[in-house]
Structure 1
Amino acid sequence: MPVVREQTFTKSEQSVLKTFREFLMSPGQMLCFYGPELERYRNALKGLTERGLLVKERFKGAYSLTREGFAAMRSVHPHLA
């Protein structure tokens, strides 16, 4: 598993990572955000993508975790199953 540099995340970025964790997403698996959630998390999704933690997929509102994003997700929310 990649080593995660110490990073700070906004509350919105933490919420996005928590959503990936709640759906038990692995690197490369696509998760779709839609409607109000897509609008609410637009900046967080963009920021996480620019940092190389998410990949924006071709399908509208769809993102997947990179290996680094997966490690960050686990470090931000280690208590979730």
Structure 2
Amino acid sequence: MDCRPGCAACCIAPSISSPIPEMPLGKPANQRCIQLDEHNLCLLFGKPERPAVCLAFQADETLCQASSEQALKLLSWLEEATA
């Protein structure tokens, strides 16, 4: 599955422990990544400074569900359950 343009659930729900440009300590769970633009697109996509955890994420119907809202709910639940 390809990412749903503008979804950004994977850029909001999970915590990221590695540095992100303009977020040197990473990103807490359920906080919007500073690298999302006004259309919820990643400004680091395809760039070497994109965190490894972001590169490794694979869109999947099970995780991404039928909508951005459903994806955010599920990914937030998974983040909380594995914290």
**RCO comparison, higher one (Cα < 8 Å, 6+):** 1
- Shorter-chain TM-score: what band? 0.3 to 0.5
Q: How does the TM-score come out when normalised to structure 2?
A: 0.34
Q: How does the TM-score come out when normalised to structure 1?
A: 0.35
Greater share of residues in strand: 1
Rg larger for: 2
Greater share of residues in helix: 1
